[in-house]
Structure 1
Amino acid sequence: MEIPVTVSKFASICTMGANASTLEKEIGPEQFPVNEHYFGLINFGNTCYCNSVLQALYFCCPFREKVLVCESQPRTKESLLTCLADLFHSIATQKKKVGVIPPKKFITRLRKENELFDNILQQDVHEFLNYLLNTIADILQEERKQEKQNGRLPNGNIDNENNNSTPDPTWVHEIFQETLTNETRYLTCETISNLSVDLEQNTSITHCLRGFGNTETLCGEYKYYCEECRSKQEAHKRMKRFKYMDQFHRYTKLSYRVVFPLELCLFNTSGYATNPDRMYDLVAVVVHCGSSPKRGHYIAIVESHDFWLLFDDDIVEKIVAQNSESGYILSYQSQD
């Protein structure tokens, strides 16, 4: 199936899950990481897409640290960022090491902000991940803009720069700035539509990434519809997102066998010789079980302190790392 690849440098009430004591025994008191917490998240009706992504992001340590810093900063307006920070802080400050937490405040805010998620239908984890990261980045840039308009930067210095300049990159950009996405560039208006890595059957993620920079021109009957211009345009396309099955009249999951390693060499596909190849470690996998992105169930498998854990909503289990044929989002962390 299609696997979007994410590359990273990377007040709730607590209830105990039935497997909590078992998990503590499996890890062992001597091996249990200091100041670490492993909490499942309650499902509020097909919110596994949200729970699995939140677990993967929580165990992206650079991201978690930045979000927790946000929790300590005063903000007058509730947002997805403040709700995420409250959730992360609630997990990180629990007295117990394992258990279950209901992310109700975050889910409520998510449904309030975006009608796409304001239902009990299954959602696509890739769409949710993109929306969440983009929203947080927008919030941070807006805060930065307001600080500039007030003539003062976060460090207390006076800002004399032009307020109309391009927004500065945020820590979201710094952490996920090498996120790989495919793009469709419309040749008339130059609008870019981000897509995700296409896969081939009986291959590897490394092989798929090698072809990431290949460009295909879409013209004639294959023109793309541009939302900005509201018309079909010629476009340059890099990969497809889902496989459209004529017999089903819909996009469907490709159950291809694609090998992805625990250690990945990300080859330079930018065309710039100065960009070296880099090594990454697999730190999280969001797994999809089902026939299509809008149906089925999502779970997260994360690496924490040299062992692997499976997060299935409120269930948390220690597992042996293994390749998953149903991996949907892979999170790799740069070794440097």
Structure 2
Amino acid sequence: MFKKWKTEKDAPGSKGSGASSGAGSHAAGGASAAAVSLSGAPDAVGKSAANGSAGLAAGGATAGGASNGAGATKMVAAAANGKELQRKLDLNKIYQDDDYDESLEYKVINKDNPELPYGDGSDKIFGMENYGYTCYINSIMQALYHTGELRKAILEYPPRDAAHPRKRKLRVKGEKPRGFVAAVQAQAGVRAPVNAPKNDAPLGNPIKKPGSKVRNMFSHGSDEASRKGGSDRKSMNSSYSSTLNESQRSGSSGVADSGSDSAGGGYPPEDMELERTTVARYPLFKALGVRFYLNQQSNVTVVGATKNPADTSEQRKRHALTHGPIINLDVSFSAQYGMRPSVFTSVKDAFEAMAENSAKKGVLSAYYLLDMVKKKNANFRGAMHQDAHELLNFVVNSVIETVGEDVRARGAPTGGDAGAGASAHAADAIGAMFSGILTSETKCLTCENVSTRDERFLDLSIDLQPNTSLTNCLRMFSHSEMLSGSNKFFCETCHSLQEASKTIKLKKVPKILALHLKRFKYSEKLGRMVKLFYRVEYTKTIRIFNTTDDAEASDKLYELYAIVVHIGGGPYHGHYVSMVRTPKFGWLLFDDETVESIDESFVFRFFGDGPGLSTAYLLFYHEVADPDNYEKRRVFNGLDDDEDTENFNHQPPGAPGVDGSDNHSTISTASSGKSKLRSRLGFNFMKL
């Protein structure tokens, strides 16, 4: 992560090698040259030292062996030295900030939308660092980032000033160096530069980072030391590790690469059939540089791939952190937006840093966002397991309120003020995505007068029943409730307390329907909150039927696109992961720093009665714009193999798919049971 710096030493390998013709002198010469490279030598010198150290050592040992037997011992020691120095050189190269094309800083890559000149971020995949207890933030942020309409609205607000364009966030290096960078460099013997790089963009208030849990991830030995980060991982890891046999847990835990070289020093061979099937549907996988081989969970690793397929999830997380690239977002860019630092500006910073990054994939370290959430809401300040549903409400509410206040502060839109009009439109668009209206209808059973009361909502909290479905839970949500006895209703017509029936219906349904499955309930018998493992089946599509007669749109069709899963036995500990369907990459599993490509069938395994502790907690459904066309495309077309189906569904380039994505995503795989994609369902870390 540091820029290359110059050294006063002269690094040519000949300086050390020319001192003596013996084995020890040659070995020392190679080691000296490599050490100079580690202290900051230019690339050419570094390569010379790296390539020459082992050779000089071997050559010297041969010459020395001709004169006495001690040369063989020196040769072994020198070869080991050379291998260790090569490892350190590789580590040093990871954190050197290579030059990039500065012409990209203002280059417009999206000419169709002047508000998004640097792209909309739909082609980027980034994991998010877990600071030991922040998986609830990571899971919600991934679901929100991959909600296309929301991401677009946040990136577009406030409107850009065409006369004063801002730099693209090609790289965000932060105000302070990453904690694990210092840890890795200390082990590798890398000397930090005197002048650490600063962000070249206007900054807000830089913050002081605490000791990151990742420092424990670089100690040699078992993975137990790397799992001390926080209580939210312990539950998942203990159950996870119990399902693995000894051979699966035997992956190495090196510093430079958490995976062992199981394939002759390189990565395992790719599954060509798996690659062909996946790339045929989602061509942009090629741009990510993904290697198509199955990891320990029988999924394809997108971020955090190691050389050993048997490496555990924690080893892949460590690999993702050590190899990056890392977006070190510990500062605020709110000054660029003409706004004060807030939850909205922090979310916008994170979205822009990922959408505009020069890399297609990597890891986001959003510490400033974490700090802002804690600052604005005291409930999230403790280093304890938090509720992802509470965070979702807080973030969405904060975004809507901040944008609304900023629109009012900038002034009401006028006929000639296009910028103010665009701002007001953006505020309305963000608010309308999640916001709906509930109507409480109370009917007096004496006079039959009906009184109504409207209430806005951002998500629906659904009570659960054993062995049921999501549709039935929604039906029970609008089930009539009798108000009698001590709970009688005061009728304005009768002017007295009367028995009544109360029904809750939807008067306005939002574009994004977020459903909260109330898994946590207070147990009077135990005197504490417990987790409900009721089986609740959810489907790919649902129709909202419990609407009022005067609803704006009744019987709407929604499609599932994101799930937040809670892993754990109770509300006070556990782990959150999210699964999101992206238009350009299909279903992805986001587990903090790592990202994996998963099959769609894998998503429907968290109904609540499985063998482990994994249950769906939050469901995100997106309104289907064209339900008639959507239903037609779901009907079986009568073709029996992938090739015929692909030819049948072929469209001209640029033809839109069902969800507005490229046409490749609409290619059906009718015989996918024969495909290697289905083989990825055999084992997964949430099948505990």
TM-score, structure 2 length as denominator?
A: 0.37
Higher RCO (CA < 8 A, seq sep 6+): 1
Residues 90-149 of structure 1, C-alpha deviation per residue, up to 9 Å, x if partnerless? 11112222211101111111111111111211111111101111111111221232234x
Aligned equivalent of 1:133 = 396
Matches within 5 A, 1:1-336: 36-70=123-157, 73=160, 74-148=337-411, 152=413, 156=417, 170-178=428-436, 196-216=461-481, 241=518, 242-272=520-550, 275-305=553-583, 307-321=586-600, 322=602, 323=604, 324-325=606-607, 326-336=615-625
Query: In proportion to residue count, which structure has more strand?
Result: 1
Q: Say what the alpha-carbon RMSD is for the aligned residues.
A: 3.5
- 1:207: how far off? 1.3
Following TM superposition, where does structure 1 have runs of at least 4 consecutive aligned residues deviating by more than 3 angstroms?
151-155, 190-195, 215-223, 235-242, 271-275
User: Contact 2:568/2:574 (CA < 8 Å) preserved in 1?
Assistant: yes
Gaps of 5+ in 1: 1-15, 17-32, 160-167, 224-234
Q: How many percent of aligned residue pairs carry the same amino acid?
A: 32
TM-score, structure 1 length as denominator?
A: 0.72
Cα 1:154–1:44 change in 2 (3 A) is farther
| SS of structure 2 residue aligned to 1:291 | strand
Cα 1:96–1:112 change in 2 (3 A) is same
Structure 1 distance, partners of 2:382, 2:153, is: 30
Cα 1:66–1:153 change in 2 (3 A) is farther
Structure 1 distance, partners of 2:541, 2:463, is: 20
Q: Structure 1: which amino acid aligns with 2:402?
A: I
Cα 1:274–1:42 change in 2 (3 A) is closer
Gaps of 5+ in 2: 1-93, 95-119, 161-336, 421-425, 443-452, 489-500, 506-516, 608-614, 626-688
Cα 1:259–1:155 change in 2 (3 A) is farther
Residues 294-320 of structure 1, C-alpha deviation per residue, up to 9 Å, x if partnerless? 321000000012611000000100111
Structure 1 distance, partners of 2:430, 2:414, is: 18
Pick the structure with greater CA Rg: 2
Q: Structure 2: which amino acid aligns with 1:44?
A: Y
Cα 1:61–1:82 change in 2 (3 A) is same
- 1:220: how far off? 7.3
Structure 2 distance, partners of 1:173, 1:193, is: 11
| SS of structure 1 residue aligned to 2:525 | coil
Q: Structure 2: which amino acid aligns with 1:334?
A: E
Structure 2 distance, partners of 1:201, 1:42, is: 36
User: Contact 2:344/2:399 (CA < 8 Å) preserved in 1?
Assistant: yes
- Number of aligned residue pairs: 280
- 1:212: how far off? 2.1
Q: Structure 2: which amino acid aligns with 1:294?
A: Y
Cα 1:50–1:155 change in 2 (3 A) is farther
User: Contact 1:46/1:121 (CA < 8 Å) preserved in 2?
Assistant: yes
Q: Structure 1: which amino acid aligns with 2:350?
A: L
- 1:201: how far off? 1.3
| SS of structure 2 residue aligned to 1:329 | strand
Q: Structure 1: which amino acid aligns with 2:434?
A: F
Residues 203-233 of structure 1, C-alpha deviation per residue, up to 9 Å, x if partnerless? 111111122222536787889xxxxxxxxxx
Query: In proportion to residue count, which structure has more helix?
Result: 2
Structure 2 distance, partners of 1:62, 1:216, is: 37
User: Contact 1:308/1:319 (CA < 8 Å) preserved in 2?
Assistant: yes
Indicate the larger mover: 52-61 or 319-328: 319-328
Cα 1:75–1:327 change in 2 (3 A) is same
